[in-house]
Amino acid sequence: MSVIEQPRRQEQEGATRHVKVYRYAPEDGGARYDEFEVPVEGCKTVLDALHWIQLHCDPSLSLRHSCLHASCGTCGVRVNGQEVLACVCELADLEDEIRVEPLANMPPITDVVVDMIPFYKGLPDPHPILRVSEVLPDAQPPNGLDAYMRLEDCIECALCVSACPIAASGTGFVGPAALVAAGRLLEEPRGTDREEVLGWAGAPHGVWDCTTCMACVQACPAGIDHLPAIVDMRRALVEQGDLDPLLARTLQNFALQGNSYGRSARTRARWTKPLDFKIPDARTEPVDYVWFVGDFASFDERATLASQRLARMLHDAGVSFGLLYEGERSAGNDVRRMGEEGLFEALVEHNLGVLGQAEFEAIFTTDPHSLNTLRNEYPQYGLDKPVYHYTELLMELVMRGAVALTPTLGGTRVTYHDPCYLARYNQITDPPRELIRATGCELVEMPRHGSNTFCCGAGGGRIWMSESDGGVRPSEQRIREAQALGDIDYFVVSCPKDLTMYADAANTIGAEFEVVELTTLLERAVAGEM
């Protein structure tokens, strides 16, 4: 549960909150936190608490706000690491300790006030002019008023920019709010030069920089879903052949071989060769579970070792599972997010055809991206079986007593990275943690964890695109966040792409800990190894 989703509390008389406020003045040269004990009575929101501090403790505290009712977008801050509008963030939803900081990825002015000018200047020009309230009969947006209204709701608060991992990289990404404004322009039937807007969106540091991590969507106080606008613009660019050459080649690999690597479909299950047992072919033999392996876990050298470990654990536990072998193609999650809708549908049709030959009860996968589309999108095309992440399946096996984990890894300190497609898209945050704890490891959380995780930078097809020049890659920012915890033995991941991204980043930085897939720890705990 996130820090601002605590159950609403009954306040005791005289209740207070301990508020730590970020203070900064350029002339002082540094930043500090000042701490205040703020009475809850009379202070409903964080903005009320900040006003109380101004009035009773420190009139020099700088704040910005104007409307007090979530419409001017000027009071954005981070509370306990999450982006909020201070005027509607209620103390009743918060813990006793409250940390108030300025929005990230924006130039600081003083205290919690940031410079919004670069944000406003970054919005596309011309600004969308259509207001739903003044829609003329001949000015209906092409995709209908509902789609338009969702984009019109933006109050230009920049909370999404503060939450965005690519904005944090400092490469010059235009940011989610600007892309929403461009999406709105494309829906604007009057006076919009479609080619010009698409040219702006498709330029370097535009729509292709996004990893589809969903942090912006979850931060937005206006309930805007940025991703349909972003993916729609990508679709339009793909249609006109305007995309990164590396990405174009990867899409061709998907089309020809059904995987991002361009390897022959016949080699998909080659990773099973070192196993001393044969995994059943689910197309010819009834099984309880179909393991949808995904491309990375089938072909990436490091990730296949994790696949082998999981196969051995499930085999030893007597679980009935099988593969689709060369019948499996990429599930298409990232293909869809790259804007290749036709190819996505072809992959779905193929995979559903092969799954149709199999007799099984449920699907599991080690790949959060495959999980997302299989679980949430394939049902619209006819899939009617439950889909699990392998950590959910293993946790259930542990609870049933089918897999015994012994806490032999006591004294080992680890941190765990939540993949966006597990934590943000599918709210799967507990099973990996329960499994880690069952091994005896001490789990130390990074500041951004659970549903408030930080993207590795690989999603939405970014892993197949040319690197942006300069800036700090999200994976390197994340490894540094783990380093700041001090004295960590392992950085644990549960996504094959994360293994690649973080092993490379840890290597580049020279991190003192090792990046491991969760199955590395689990295999040792199953075997009772120290």
CB of 72 to ligand FES, least distance (A): 3
Contacts of 60 (CB under 8 A, 6+ apart): none
Cα gap 379→363, rounded to integer Å: 13
**3-state class percentages of the chain: helix first, strand second, coil last, to nearest 5:** 45, 10, 45
Task: Please list every residue from 357 through 376 that binds ligand SF4, using CB under 6 A.
Answer: none
CB of 227 to ligand SF4, least distance (A): 6
220 binds ligand FES (CB under 6 A): no
SS3 string of 149-207?
Answer: HHHHCCCCCCHHHHHCCCHHHCCCCCCHHHHHHHHHHHHCCCCCCHHHHHHHHHCCCCH
User: Of 65 and 417, which CB lies nearer to ligand FES in the complex structure?
Assistant: 65
User: Of 66 and 357, which CB lies nearer to ligand FES in the complex structure?
Assistant: 66
* Beta strands 16-24; 31-39: pairing state: antiparallel
On the 0-12 / 13-18 / 19+ scale of CB atoms within 10 A, 334 is buried
- Select the residue interacting with ligand FES from 36, 73, 105, 365 (CB under 6 A): 73
Residues that contact ligand SF4, how many (by CB under 6 A): 28
> Tokens representing 139?
């000015």
159 binds ligand SF4 (CB under 6 A): yes
Task: Please list every residue from 193 through 212 that binds ligand SF4, using CB under 6 A.
Answer: 210-212
Please state at what angle helix 245-257 crosses helix 341-355, rounded to 10 degrees.
Answer: 30
Residues that contact ligand FES, how many (by CB under 6 A): 12
CB of 117 to ligand FES, least distance (A): 18
- Select the residue interacting with ligand FES from 3, 15, 57, 68 (CB under 6 A): 68
Q: 163 is in the binding site of which of ligand FES, ligand SF4, none (Cβ under 5 to 8 A by kind)?
A: ligand SF4
Q: 66 is in the binding site of which of ligand SF4, ligand FES, none (Cβ under 5 to 8 A by kind)?
A: ligand FES
User: Phi and psi of 101, rounded to 5°?
Assistant: -130, 160
- Select the residue interacting with ligand SF4 from 130, 180, 197, 516 (CB under 6 A): 180
| Torsion, Cα of 26, 30, 31, 33 (10° steps) | -120
User: Of 65 and 309, which CB lies nearer to ligand FES in the complex structure?
Assistant: 65
Place of tokens 């959060």: 368
Contacts of 409 (CB under 8 A, 6+ apart): 439, 440, 441, 521, 524, 525, 530
Residue of 302, 373, 291 whose CA lies nearest to 519: 302
User: Of 156 and 300, which CB lies nearer to ligand FES in the complex structure?
Assistant: 156
269 binds ligand SF4 (CB under 6 A): no
- Select the residue interacting with ligand SF4 from 102, 122, 176, 496 (CB under 6 A): 176
User: Of 87 and 324, which CB lies nearer to ligand FES in the complex structure?
Assistant: 87
51 binds ligand FES (CB under 6 A): no
Long-range CB pairs of 480-485, under 8 A, 24+ apart, other chains included:
480/509, 481/446, 481/447, 481/448, 481/454, 482/415, 482/417, 482/446, 482/511, 482/513, 483/509, 483/511, 483/512, 483/513, 485/415, 485/444, 485/446
Q: 75 is in the binding site of which of ligand SF4, ligand FES, none (Cβ under 5 to 8 A by kind)?
A: ligand FES
Q: Are 150 and 225 in contact, with CB atoms under 8 Å apart?
A: yes
Residue of 110, 102, 98, 109 whose CA lies nearest to 77: 102
CB of 223 to ligand SF4, least distance (A): 8
74 binds ligand FES (CB under 6 A): yes
354 binds ligand FES (CB under 6 A): no
Task: Please list every residue from 448 through 507 that binds ligand SF4, using CB under 6 A.
Answer: 455
Query: What is each CA distance from 20 to 12, 40, 107, 111, 408, in whole angstroms?
Result: 21, 15, 21, 12, 39
Q: 215 is in the binding site of which of ligand FES, ligand SF4, none (Cβ under 5 to 8 A by kind)?
A: ligand SF4
CB of 297 to ligand SF4, least distance (A): 23
CB of 456 to ligand SF4, least distance (A): 11
Using the contact rule CB under 6 A, the part of the chain among 67-75, 209-217, 301-309, 394-402 near ligand FES is 67-75
User: Of 45 and 372, which CB lies nearer to ligand FES in the complex structure?
Assistant: 45
Task: Please list every residue from 76 through 115 that binds ligand FES, using CB under 6 A.
Answer: 85, 87
Using the contact rule CB under 6 A, the part of the chain among 70-78, 135-143, 159-167, 261-269 near ligand FES is 70-78
Q: DSSP string spanning 431-475? A: HHHHHHHHTTPEE---SS-GGG----S-GGGGGGSPPPSSS--HH
Binding mask 214-233 for ligand SF4 (x = CB under 6 A): xxx--xx-x-x-x-------
* Beta strands 76-79; 113-114: pairing state: unpaired
List interacting residues with ligand SF4 (CB under 6 A). 73, 154-160, 163-166, 176-177, 180, 210-216, 219-220, 222, 224, 226, 455
Judged by the rule CB under 6 A, the positions of this chain that interact with ligand FES are: 65-68, 70-75, 85, 87
